[in-house]
Chains A and B, each alone.
Chain A
Amino acid sequence: MTARMDKRFASLKTEGRPALITYFMGGDPDFETSLGIMKALPGAGADIIELGMPFSDPMADGPAIQLAGQRALKGGQTLAKTLELARRFREGDNDTPIVMMGYYNPIYIYGVEKFLDDALEAGIDGLIIVDLPPEMDDELCIPALEKGINFIRLATPTTDDKRLPTVLKNTSGFVYYVSMNGITGSALPDPSLISGAVERIKGHTELPVCVGFGVKTADHARAIGAAADGVVVGTAIVAQIAGSLTKDGQAGPDTVASVATLVRGLASGVRSARLVAAE
């Protein structure tokens, strides 16, 4: 685990509340706006940042994140520029962990070794690569762990007790529990089912378990955060960005501010989550 990730979860434990993990697409709708959004996230209450790497064929994503990726690519975003976003962010923030999330092919084409070196240098703390299951660990997971970058695995409702040890074996940083079988942006399932699943995973690992897919409001964040160590919000943020753009898809006057407002609301949700749990 990198020092930043370690420290962040340790201090959250002291505070007695779950993490708010915010996803946005690097380069959406353009590099500078997206850097502005990234810089605004910690102040608005984000504890960990998931930095999306755009890909032309995002097979596990719903329409909102697909469109965000298309906007970013249209704006000229590349993997090198997404690393540059992190580097620029790190100039003013050396505490907030950054996890890059996306698909394998752009990394494979960039070159695994070079990518890991550049990611480390840019201040990246972890990777979530949707299309690299444990069976493919030699590709990127093992090399990343050797360099000291977390490889955060997705566990899903189809990950039964028999498979869970396989999924957890080389996982580090935290476990990302996908709350349902489906693509990003679907409806949130019953929170009680989720807390059961979180308990099940916690029976197999000491790592923090964070939950995503379907969390859109402060109420959701509060309900999910009662059981989980972290709540991941992605589609709601990406949709907020989309809604703030001008007619021709350029950043609007309120793009950064409106994302910050949304995140502040979500942050209030996770900050009162354990109060709900205690009731």
Chain B
Amino acid sequence: MNQTPRPNSFRAGPDEDGRFGIYGGRFVAETLMPLILDLQGEWEKAKNDPAFQAELKHLGAHYIGRPSPLYFAERLTAELGGAKIYFKREELNHTGSHKINNCIGQILLAKRMGKTRIIAETGAGQHGVASATVAARFDLPCVVYMGATDVERQAPNVFRMKLLGAEVIPVTAGHGTLKDAMNEALRDWVTNVDSTYYLIGTAAGPHPYPEMVRDFQAVIGAEAREQMLAAEGRLPDMVIAAVGGGSNAIGIFHPFLDDDGVKIVGVEAGGKGLQGDEHCASITAGSPGVLHGNRTYLLQDGDGQIKEGHSISAGLDYPGIGPEHSWLNDIGRAEYVPIMDHEALEAFQMLTRLEGIIPALEPSHALAEVIKRAPKMGKDEIILMNLSGRGDKDIFTVGKILGMGM
């Protein structure tokens, strides 16, 4: 009687306390709890409000440029000689990545809640740019916290945020990366809780953020599913996406979770290898813990202190992962694998030369996994990959590594 029945759907979570199995939850300071409960209430209302959905859809079509195309990568497919490779072209969105999908949704919520100030954290700067963009569009002041290390390696995005009118605050604590930026954003939020909306960029943090961000990003998978049926008359055999916090990945995965024949693969940043500490493979090489409002897989030591990760890609440089990914891993619905810096770099160059698409370093990790898997699959099989961002922001980093003297 008391046995928990196996869920009929992998898409039903989280429960009312924001749990995906043991993951998720609301591990925040009391100051933030009333606000988080308000946000949850507002989100529940908005979700079911046709006017909200209509506005989201309108802005999606006319501001972001949705639906993004589904593209058959013909030359890459021929080169690898196996499965047919399709890209969901999220890099063609306004601001150059999937991040805008979530930002539009959340800023509409912030407006509904009467908030007058937006804060955000950013790693690669894609979420910072998307936040600064919607803040400009909706006329709200915006403060973006960004690790000092990232400010340096993502200079073009810093400039874009400033042009858009946002204040970019470099965070020097820790290693000056995404984790530290998130700590600082939480400190700001706890101080300015009455006026401020915290626009979290990934499907992590306290409930309802993981669910809400996923729902805003699930448009990626929903469109891709329809587009794939139109193009091929069937679903893909495999869906692959890069995972830092995991918003682009959960966005494309979620609509496919109940399609048994679709294998789901998340690609973590393997950095310089999993032996030492210079990676960000939270699931592959980490363990469950509590940070930034949720329980999830984390990189940590035996005393529960959080480690600093490393990735060539600033967007994957985070020692945790969204809680739904942790759950999907544990129940075996999705598989998570690491890709090393150098593999991502090779994939970056390959796509640039073969398809004339410069990918961001984040989806270059997913691409490296595609490059490994496609040749081993049949020509009648199909891989769908989320090309979540464009690489313009990364050309200086890559140029430096390749010794191209810019």
Q: Are B27 and A158 in contact (CB under 8 A)?
A: no
Q: Are B173 and A60 in contact (CB under 8 A)?
A: no
Q: Are A163 and B290 in contact (CB under 8 A)?
A: no
Q: Are A73 and B305 in contact (CB under 8 A)?
A: yes
Q: Is the interface of B mostly helix, strand, loop or mixed?
A: mixed
Cβ distance A126 to chain B, nearest Cβ, rounded Å: 16
Q: Are A183 and B290 in contact (CB under 8 A)?
A: no
| Docked pose: A181 CA to B300 CA in angstroms | 29
Contacts of B174 in A (CB 8 A): 56-57
Q: Are A158 and B193 in contact (CB under 8 A)?
A: yes
Q: How many A-B residue pairs have CB under 8 A?
A: 117
Interface size bracket, A side: 35 or more
Instruction: Flag the segment in B6-14, B29-37, B375-383 that touches A.
Output: B29-37
Q: Are A167 and B30 in contact (CB under 8 A)?
A: yes
Task: Specify the chain A residue showing the minimal Cβ separation from B207.
Answer: A135
A55-72 interface (Cβ within 8 A of B) = 55-62, 66
Task: Specify the chain A residue showing the minimal Cβ separation from B35.
Answer: A158
Q: Is A159 an interface residue (CB 8 A)?
A: yes
Q: Is B26 an interface residue (CB 8 A)?
A: yes
Task: Specify the chain B residue showing the minimal Cβ separation from A69.
Answer: B305
Instruction: Flag the segment in B86-94, B137-145, B184-192 that touches A.
Output: B184-192
| Docked pose: A156 CA to B302 CA in angstroms | 33
| Docked pose: A205 CA to B26 CA in angstroms | 25
Cβ distance A12 to chain B, nearest Cβ, rounded Å: 25
Q: Is B292 an interface residue (CB 8 A)?
A: yes
A152-173 interface (Cβ within 8 A of B) = 153-160, 163, 167
B3-47 interface (Cβ within 8 A of A) = 17, 25-35
Contacts of A160 in B (CB 8 A): 34
Q: Are A133 and B191 in contact (CB under 8 A)?
A: no
Cβ distance B365 to chain A, nearest Cβ, rounded Å: 25
Cβ distance A26 to chain B, nearest Cβ, rounded Å: 12
| Docked pose: A277 CA to B191 CA in angstroms | 30
**Given A159-B34, A183-B187, A133 and B173 contact (CB-CB distance below 8 Å):** no
Cβ contacts A to B, 11 pairs, < 8 Å? A54-B305, A56-B307, A57-B306, A58-B183, A59-B29, A132-B27, A135-B25, A156-B29, A181-B190, A182-B191, A183-B190
Q: Give B residues with C-beta under 8 Å from A.
A: 17, 25-35, 173-174, 179, 183, 186-187, 190-194, 289-293, 295, 298, 300, 302-307
